[in-house]
Amino acid sequence: MRNSNFFQDLKASHEGLLSLGFWALQFYRFGHLRYKFKTKIIRYPLAIVHIILFKFSEVFFGITIGVSAKIGKRLIIEHSGCIVIHGNAELGDDCIIRQGVTIGNRKMDAPFEAPQIGNRVNIGAGAKILGGVIIGDDAQIGANAVVIKDVPAGAIAVGVPAQIRLPKQNPSSMDTSNE
């Protein structure tokens, strides 16, 4: 079912149809739809409409999502404003992004390097994830963190530049087979 992303995104959005982040994501998905068509007679009109929606999203929502980015299901853009997602970035399912987040390239001589973000990643307000880094599933990116190196699954990245903190082991879950 092709409309399933729309309804899944809508269900995940806390504000529903009133969420600016939801609409910016739908404009991205509309633009990304044109890649499914080979013929120019369909692609070009879709591209023109997408450019108008893209600029509307930039100007009025403060959200820029590159049309060739790969974004999974149920992305939540919790607060709009100053959000940039590079066209080569990849985001998994069930991620959360807050205001002021940049997911983009780091170096002018490597303009196509962009982050790969796993599933269920929570990205705090003002965070910057730069370059060809890989963020593992269930990672937490702290507010205003500047991530320039890989973050393992389940880890927390905080600070400038971000320091990686691994989750603490629960003593009750430790292996007691030696007893």
pLDDT of residue 170: 62
CA–CA gap between residue 159 and residue 35 (Å, rounded) = 38
Task: Give me the DSSP letters along the chain.
Answer: -TTHHHHHHHHH-TTGGG-HHHHHHHHHHHHHHGGG---HHHHHHHHHHHHHHHHHIIIII-EEE-TT-EE-TT-EE-S-SSEEE-TT-EE-TT-EE-TT-EEE---TT-TT---EE-TT-EE-TT-EEESS-EE-TT-EE-TT-EE-S-B-TT-EEETTTTEEEPPPPPGGGS--TT-
pLDDT of residue 3: 56
pLDDT of residue 123: 98
pTM: 0.85
Residue 101's identity, in one-letter code, is: V
pLDDT in tens, the chain (179 residues): 345 788 888 888 888 888 888 999 999 999 988 888 989 999 999 999 999 999 999 999 999 999 999 999 999 999 889 999 999 999 999 999 999 999 999 998 988 999 999 999 999 999 999 999 999 999 999 999 999 999 999 999 999 999 999 987 665 555 555 54
Percent of all residues in the chain with a pLDDT value above 90, rounded to a whole number: 70
